[in-house]
Amino acid sequence: MLSARFRAALAYAARLHARQARKGTVRPYIAHLLGVTSTVITHGGDEDEAIAALLHDAVEDQGGKPRLREIRRKFGARVAKIVDGCTDSYSEPKPPWLERKKAYLAHLRTADKSTCLVSAGDKLYNSREVLADYRTHGDQVWQRFSGEKRGTLWYYREVANILHDKVPRELSDELERVVAELERAAGSNHEQR
């Protein structure tokens, strides 16, 4: 069972992201955090991993290294380590998109099991959302992303390939299915950039 510590993290995440919407939408950002957390819990994540799922974007979107130190103080070193492992940028403005994504992919190849679990939950949620939005809005959806169509599809394919043997089989299979469906729908050959 999840403790008061999880409930505190949920309230903390809701406060941090209260004014944030998903990129290119009016959907409250907390929906993404709850979706990732649900995926992590469903696939065997423990309380630290569930808390890290709630907070996985807090450092990147809400305060950089000072926010990471606060997370460590409030929720412990293991949660902070997972959040750190899911973060691809600590600064504003962020480094160029392709540079960030290539560095994150290199990191993911050697990341620990907990970071991979939260990252897989994040990428599964994101790819599902992109697929649903693509079905509604067509190619217009790619305008939301710095990597545009080609780069975004390449990135999700690379993540799915890397995480294939690093997360529970049901999770990696679902990520593979969604990414493949997105590729088919978008008519991509997902060439590496």
Name the residue ranges covered by the structural domains of the chain. Answer: 4-186
Are the C-beta atoms of 75 and 5 separated by less than 8 Å? Answer: yes
61 is catalytic: yes
Residue range 83-132, pLDDT digits in tens: 999 998 887 788 899 999 999 999 999 999 999 999 999 999 999 999 99
pLDDT band at 193 (very low <50, low <70, confident <90, very high): very low
Catalytic residue among 61, 84, 176, 181: 61
148 is catalytic: no
Q: Which amino acid is at 10?
A: L
| DSSP reduced 3-state for 26 | coil
Q: Regarding the domain delimited by 4-186, which CATH topology (the fold level of the hierarchy) does it fall under?
A: Hypothetical protein af1432 (1.10.3210)
What does 86-104 look like in DSSP terms, one character per residue? T-S--SSSPPPHHHHHHHH
Are the C-beta atoms of 15 and 23 separated by less than 8 Å? Answer: no
Catalytic residue among 48, 49, 60, 133: 60
The dihedral built from the CA positions of residue 23, 187, 116 and 169, taken in this order, carries a sign that is: positive
Find, among 110, 105, 112, 103, the residue nearest to 80 by Cα: 112
